[in-house]
Amino acid sequence: MDHPISPSASDPTPRLALRLWREALSPYKGRLAISFGFMVALAGAEFAFILATQWIFAGLSPTEESRFTANAADVVVWGPVLILVLGLFQAAVFYGQVVTSQGIGISLMRDVQQKMYDRILTLDLAQTEGDGAGPLVSRFTNDMAVLRTSLVRAPNGVRDGVRLIGIVVALVVLDPILFLAVLLIYPVVGLPVTWLGKRIRHLGRHVQRQIGELTGVLTESVQGRRMITSYRLEDYERRRLGEAFEERHRLLHRLLRINAANEPVITVIGAVAIAAIIGIAAFRIDAGLMSGADLVAFLVAMALLSAPARGLGTLNAALQEGFSALERMFDVLDRRPTITDRPGARSLSLPAGPPDIRFEGVHFAYREGEPILRGIDLTVPAGATVALVGPSGAGKSSLFGLIPRLYEAESGRILIAGQAIDSVTLASIRDAIALVSQDAVLFDDTVGANIRFGRADADDEALKAAAVAAAAHDFIEALPQGYQTPVGERGEKLSGGQRQRVALARAFLKDAPILLLDEATAALDAESERLIDEALKRLAAGRTTLVIAHRLSTVCDADLICVMDRGQIVETGTHAELVAKGGLYARLAALQFGEAT
Ligand SMILES: Nc1ncnc2c1ncn2[C@@H]1O[C@H](COP(=O)(O)OP(=O)(O)OP(=O)(O)O)[C@@H](O)[C@H]1O
């Protein structure tokens, strides 16, 4: 696996942002431009709103001669209209901005999801199975959720930035000197708020930790009732728990006081700031450098400033979280499969009849140093049925997995019709193999669709013929919607035996020359067992079949039985030969098939 993007000492954010742009955002250039246009329009509307208040208040200020100034008549008519129009315009661009920019986020998520899934489909099984599956699924669930939050907040942050610029320009236009004064005042009055915020977070963590400790003590104490009662430790425990309850009470009270102080402190600070502004403004108005209307507009602008300023304050945290989720998602996109077609690989060329399969000195391990298959030599003659038996963990399923190249052998060769499987294309090998596994994997679709996975272009006649051959047609016809009946998640609406027959029908439809059959271990009722047995016989006829056998009837019918133990083939022969030999098979058969042997 290569990981070009890995956490490093240097800040990965610029690199991630660049990559996000190149691989995900650039197709949305047009929509991004529109969305930015809306943001600028919104900022413009706010700017206009501030100046409109100034114009209105300038018009409505009483003068000595009359109750209104000269342009009052205009203001009385047009003031309300202007505010209304600006409000409507703001509402419309706000809506447009949210829909376009968050719409881009939603589309981007779909793209990344699709890309990740496409990548996963190409990966080796080893990279996605077992331990690998959980983290991969979490890329789609947890990381996607985090990314979604960021994708909502990032455009809001840009919008807040643009709005802030508009408001600051308005403040400068109204009175640059007063604006400078605000710039100096704000950091000073802002300090207590920051300090309070830190205290609240600190205390909050403390409370969380104490709750954890208390839970531990409580659990210990409640579970230890037997001990407490028999040793009469009640008083000791009451004191011990009492101290913990008291500590919690004390912490919660502190948190309460500090939380309760938060709002009042903000109010006081706001009052101090506004008082300072009014104080300074009073001097400037008195000196004729500023009008009362300027001051009103200035205060309106200050009020408008707080929302975008708060939004920008929390933007960074949201972005950082989003980027780390994105990094983990890119990591999936950067993975590469190791089992691939060799350059210039040709299709497997198949003989007219079924092909033979040969294993030559095959060694295999999932992890280095833990060999699973150790020197497998095995020939499955063309058209024959070979049964694999052996204790659990012997390596039977692993041997199966090597044939369609789900996993790669460490050494040795596997040949189909004389061609090494790693020299031909993956698609042609997988086309030549029908796999019927014991868990009979069905997807949440109709019965018909599940069979058709065998061969997508099969017509209804072929579909029905396959179902008949698999002894599935009758039960399917009896379902409420016949072939159109949904099977439910993992085929839960069908019985175990029915699921297996659907899986068999799929293999009939695929009509591949090689059959890999992993028999069900779960017991079926006698009727299902008989139907499946007969279907299997029909399916194996004229194909080269390798079967992991769990049933007596299968081993008795096999041309050859290979007994595996700890990664090796330890015995081969027919059922009768192996029973007579009295080795591992004889013991296994006695255990597994009981008196039947
Ligand atoms: N995907 C995997 N990753 C790592 N180890 C695995 C994996 N699959 C199987 N193994 C290990 O390989 C060994 C052989 O397993 P395998 O499934 O091939 O045996 P089996 O003979 O088919 O057993 P069973 O009849 O129980 O299915 C076991 O020790 C198992 O734990």
In this structure, which amino acid lies at residue 544?
A: T
Q: Indicate if ligand 1 lies below 6 Å from the C-beta of 532.
A: no
Q: What is the pLDDT of residue 412?
A: 94
Residue from 145, 159, 154 nearest 319 by CA: 154
CA 125 to ligand 1: nearest atom: 1
Question: For atom 7 of ligand 1, which residue has the closest CA?
Answer: 366
In this structure, which amino acid lies at residue 193?
A: V
SS3 call for 388: strand
Which of 129, 363, 392, 398 maximizes ligand 1 atoms within 8 Å of its Cβ, making it the mutation to test the pocket? Answer: 398
Which of 123, 374, 396, 550 maximizes ligand 1 atoms within 8 Å of its Cβ, making it the mutation to test the pocket? Answer: 396
Residue from 125, 135, 122, 112 nearest 28 by CA: 112
- CA dist 300 and 158 (Å) reads 22
Residue from 453, 395, 435 nearest 519 by CA: 435
- CA dist 417 and 362 (Å) reads 17
392 C-alpha vs ligand 1 centroid, how far in Å?
A: 8
Question: For atom 16 of ligand 1, which residue has the closest CA?
Answer: 395
CA 567 to ligand 1: nearest atom: 14
Query: Which DSSP string do the residues of 234-259 spell out, in sequence order?
Result: HHHHHHHHHHHHHHHHHHHHHHHHHH
400 C-alpha vs ligand 1 centroid, how far in Å?
A: 11
- CA dist 354 and 428 (Å) reads 15
Asked if 94 and 86 touch (Cβ cutoff 8 Å), the reply is: no
In this prediction, the residues of the chain whose per-residue pLDDT falls under 70 are 1-10, 61-73, 130-131, 521-523, 594-597
CA 392 to ligand 1: nearest atom: 26
Question: For atom 13 of ligand 1, which residue has the closest CA?
Answer: 393
Question: For atom 26 of ligand 1, which residue has the closest CA?
Answer: 392
- CA dist 252 and 255 (Å) reads 5
Bridge partner residues of 571 (DSSP): 563
Question: For atom 28 of ligand 1, which residue has the closest CA?
Answer: 393
Q: Indicate if ligand 1 lies below 6 Å from the C-beta of 392.
A: yes
Using a 10 angstrom Cβ sphere, with 0-12 exposed, 13-18 middle and 19 or more buried, the burial of residue 279 is exposed
Question: For atom 4 of ligand 1, which residue has the closest CA?
Answer: 366
Q: Which two tokens stand for residue 504?
A: 């068999």
**pLDDT single digits (tens) 538-586:** 888 899 999 998 887 788 888 999 999 999 999 999 888 888 888 888 8
Q: Indicate if ligand 1 lies below 6 Å from the C-beta of 398.
A: yes
Query: Which DSSP string do the residues of 287-331 spell out, in sequence order?
Result: TTSS-HHHHHHHHHHHHHHHHHHHHHHHHHHHHHHHHHHHHHHHH
- CA dist 400 and 410 (Å) reads 15
386 C-alpha vs ligand 1 centroid, how far in Å?
A: 20
Q: What is the pLDDT of residue 3?
A: 43
372 C-alpha vs ligand 1 centroid, how far in Å?
A: 8
Instruction: Give the single-character DSSP code of 566.
Output: T
- CA dist 170 and 427 (Å) reads 66
Q: Which two tokens stand for residue 495?
A: 């019985």
In this structure, which amino acid lies at residue 409?
A: A
Q: What is the pLDDT of residue 68?
A: 56
Question: For atom 29 of ligand 1, which residue has the closest CA?
Answer: 393
Pairing assessment for the beta strands 433-436 and 514-518 based on DSSP bridges: parallel
At how many degrees (to 10) do helices 460-469 and 526-540 cross?
A: 120
- CA dist 292 and 277 (Å) reads 12
Q: Indicate if ligand 1 lies below 6 Å from the C-beta of 390.
A: yes
Backbone phi, psi, residue 505, to 5°: -60, -40
Opening angle at CA 274, ends 269 and 277, nearest 5: 130
Bridge partner residues of 419 (DSSP): 416
591 C-alpha vs ligand 1 centroid, how far in Å?
A: 21
- CA dist 146 and 319 (Å) reads 10
Query: Scanning the structure block, which residue is given the tokens 């004191």?
Result: 239
Bridge partner residues of 568 (DSSP): 565
Using only C-alpha atoms, the chain has a radius of gyration, in whole angstroms, of: 38
> What does each C-alpha distance from 506 to 195, 466, 467, 527 come to in angstroms?
68, 7, 8, 21
585 C-alpha vs ligand 1 centroid, how far in Å?
A: 20
Strand order from edge to edge, sheet including 433-436? 433-436, 514-518, 544-548, 385-389, 560-565, 568-573
Q: What is the pLDDT of residue 66?
A: 53
Q: Indicate if ligand 1 lies below 6 Å from the C-beta of 401.
A: no
Backbone phi, psi, residue 433, to 5°: -120, 135
Q: Indicate if ligand 1 lies below 6 Å from the C-beta of 372.
A: yes
27 C-alpha vs ligand 1 centroid, how far in Å?
A: 45
542 C-alpha vs ligand 1 centroid, how far in Å?
A: 30
- CA dist 82 and 89 (Å) reads 10
Which of 367, 397, 410 maximizes ligand 1 atoms within 8 Å of its Cβ, making it the mutation to test the pocket? Answer: 397
Query: CA torsion 333→338→340→343, rounded to 10°?
Result: 110
CA 401 to ligand 1: nearest atom: 18
2 torsion bin: left (phi>0), alpha (psi -120 to 50), beta (else): beta
Query: Scanning the structure block, which residue is given the tokens 């070979």?
Result: 386
Q: Indicate if ligand 1 lies below 6 Å from the C-beta of 396.
A: yes
Question: For atom 25 of ligand 1, which residue has the closest CA?
Answer: 392
Which of 128, 372, 437, 554 maximizes ligand 1 atoms within 8 Å of its Cβ, making it the mutation to test the pocket? Answer: 372
Q: What is the pLDDT of residue 7?
A: 43
Query: Is the ipTM here above 0.90?
Result: yes
At how many degrees (to 10) do helices 72-122 and 29-60 cross?
A: 160
Bridge partner residues of 572 (DSSP): 562
